[in-house]
């Protein structure tokens, strides 16, 4: 009888120890998930790169500051290259993916329009970018651009509509116009009439923020990960 009692006490002790270990492991795994930031990469052109402004004044840098001010555990990686086209963005996806982003905001197409590139070519390149990112298991967001109005109504209609078509086809969130609230406003644009000045970059980040926070929460819910620390 004493042997049975001793065994029972031993089994109870083992079960208690296992319970303690399980309770310890769960918070540790949660803490790791919370301590690892969600990486958002901006695959873009000079608008993302911050042409004519300091690196800390670019809209991706301003966006990271705004997200962290909300308590978001996020890192924004600036993969903007001045002068880049959709073809150039497609060529450097593998290089960007080496940073292992969780989310990629695609901000490309402005230089295509400035060069008068056939909108069908731009759409083909952006489609390939979205497909390649999705194949890599990355969440994709798309930022739209509007064509210069002096290119004619046919070009404008074809170009402006391609972002919505891609977003609907691949079910990716679309921010319709990356320069919303900034374009053609002398208070926010540099002397070249194209690129945001520091104030303009802040406006871009401020206007983009609600789009990012909503879709960041959706992403976190989809991968069962806390969006905040």
Residue positions annotated with a catalytic role: 46, 192, 195
Helix, strand, or coil (residue 82): coil
Question: H or E stretch including 78?
Answer: strand 74-80
Alpha helices, H only, 136-176: 153-170
Contacts of 31 (CB under 8 A, 6+ apart): none
Return all residues near 60 (Cβ < 8 A) that are at least 6 apart: 42, 44, 48, 50, 76, 77, 78, 80, 205
Distance from C-alpha of 84 to C-alpha of 139, rounded to nearest angstrom: 22
Structure tokens, 157 = 């209609």
Q: How far apart are CA 72 and CA 122, in angstroms?
A: 34
141 - beta bridge partners? 105
Q: Rounded CA gap, 29 and 72, in Å? A: 18
> What is the Cα–Cα distance from 48 to 80, expressed in whole angstroms?
5
- For residues 85, 66, 164, 47, the Cα torsion angle rounded to the nearest 10 degrees is -20
């Amino acid at each position: 009888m004493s042997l049975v009692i001793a065994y029972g006490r031993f089994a109870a002790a083992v079960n208690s120890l296992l319970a303690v270990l399980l309770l310890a492991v769960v918070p540790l795994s949660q803490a790791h998930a919370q301590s690892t930031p969600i990486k958002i990469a901006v695959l873009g052109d000079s608008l993302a790169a911050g042409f004519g402004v300091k690196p800390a004044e670019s809209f991706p840098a301003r966006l990271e500051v705004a997200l962290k001010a909300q308590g978001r555990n996020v890192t924004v990686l600036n993969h903007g290259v001045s002068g880049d086209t959709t073809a150039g963005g497609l060529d450097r996806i593998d290089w960007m993916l080496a940073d292992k982003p969780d989310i990629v905001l695609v901000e490309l197409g402005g230089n295509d329009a400035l060069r008068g590139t056939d909108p069908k070519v731009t759409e083909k390149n952006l489609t390939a970018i979205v497909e390649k990112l999705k194949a890599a298991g990355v969440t994709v967001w798309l930022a739209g651009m509007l064509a210069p109005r002096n290119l004619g109504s046919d070009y404008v209609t074809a170009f402006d509509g391609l972002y919505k078509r891609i977003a609907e086809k691949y079910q990716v969130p679309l921010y319709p116009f990356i320069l919303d609230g900034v374009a053609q406003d002398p208070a926010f644009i540099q002397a070249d009439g194209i690129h945001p000045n520091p104030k303009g970059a802040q406006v871009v980040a401020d206007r983009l923020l609600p789009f990012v926070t909503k879709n960041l929460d959706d992403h976190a819910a989809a991968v069962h990960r806390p969006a905040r620390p």
